[in-house]
Amino acid sequence: MIIFNFSQLTDYILNNYSNLTSDIKSICSKCGVDYNDLTLIAVSKTFPSSDIKRLFDFGHKDFGENKVQELIQKNLELKNPDINWHLIGHLQTNKVKYIIDFVHLIHSVDSLKLALEIQKRASAISKVKNILVQVNISNEISKSGVNPSELKKLVKEISYFENIKVIGLMTIGSLTNERNIIRKNFKDMKNLYDELLIDNSDFKYLSMGMSSDFDIAIEEGANMLRIGSSIFGNRNYKL
């Protein structure tokens, strides 16, 4: 277990961030991908608001949280309207009302019921909310996400809502060390994305890839990455 004081920790984070972006640029160069077309979300779950502020001051604006309560708390602590908050974890319908007015992008919409609640809450404040539809591409019981066979139907149903805009898809690769399996997941997701892109002009994001597999994700067509530990470190550290 590594123990940092504050100055060590922040320097550690910024060093990690610089190394990560350098690695991403290198992968993009090899794949013929424009680095500027990628959106990197720093997944700040369990880390203090001071770390987010440090990285924001360094020039990064997109931060992801898994839990609604933690997202609310950090938004209140930082009071920074220029931060783009991403809700990347499972969202219960009864918690939509707490984040609808400030969340930048909801990644985890996987049911018509949840979409209906987002529509209701967004309409009440006269806003159009951007969302991604989460797909359980690996068909793992432990994961949230719509089954690939139901994806097209769900996207079409949500497209009729006036206060929601579906701007892409999100997935999590298989929980395995077999990188060929993860690659197949991401390749299948890119195929689904391309199929839906034909009829969905608002589509612009394919969110997939985390610390352990972002290289594969970039190679297979992701343009939004959700990376936590490669930036902030092991979540078992103590201040």
User: What is residue 5's predicted lDDT score, i.e. its pLDDT?
Assistant: 43
User: What is residue 109's predicted lDDT score, i.e. its pLDDT?
Assistant: 98
User: What is residue 2's predicted lDDT score, i.e. its pLDDT?
Assistant: 37
Which residues are CB-neighbours of 21 under 8 A, at least 6 positions away?
40
CATH of the domain spanning 6-25+33-232:
3.20.20.10
Three-class SS of 74-102: HHHHHCCCCCEEEECCCCCHHHHHHHCCC
- 228 pLDDT band (50/70/90 cuts)? very high
Question: Would you say residue 199 has pLDDT above 70?
Answer: yes
User: What is residue 185's predicted lDDT score, i.e. its pLDDT?
Assistant: 97
> What integer is the mean pLDDT of 113-131?
98
Q: How far is CA 128 from CA 96, 102, 131, 142, in A?
A: 14, 12, 10, 31
Question: Would you say residue 4 has pLDDT above 80?
Answer: no
> What integer is the mean pLDDT of 60-74?
98
Question: Would you say residue 238 has pLDDT above 60?
Answer: no
- Express each pLDDT in 79-106 by its tens digit: 999 999 999 999 999 999 999 999 999 9
The pTM score is 0.92
User: What is residue 140's predicted lDDT score, i.e. its pLDDT?
Assistant: 82
User: What is residue 235's predicted lDDT score, i.e. its pLDDT?
Assistant: 67
- Express each pLDDT in 11-29 by its tens digit: 899 999 999 999 999 999 9
User: What is residue 234's predicted lDDT score, i.e. its pLDDT?
Assistant: 80
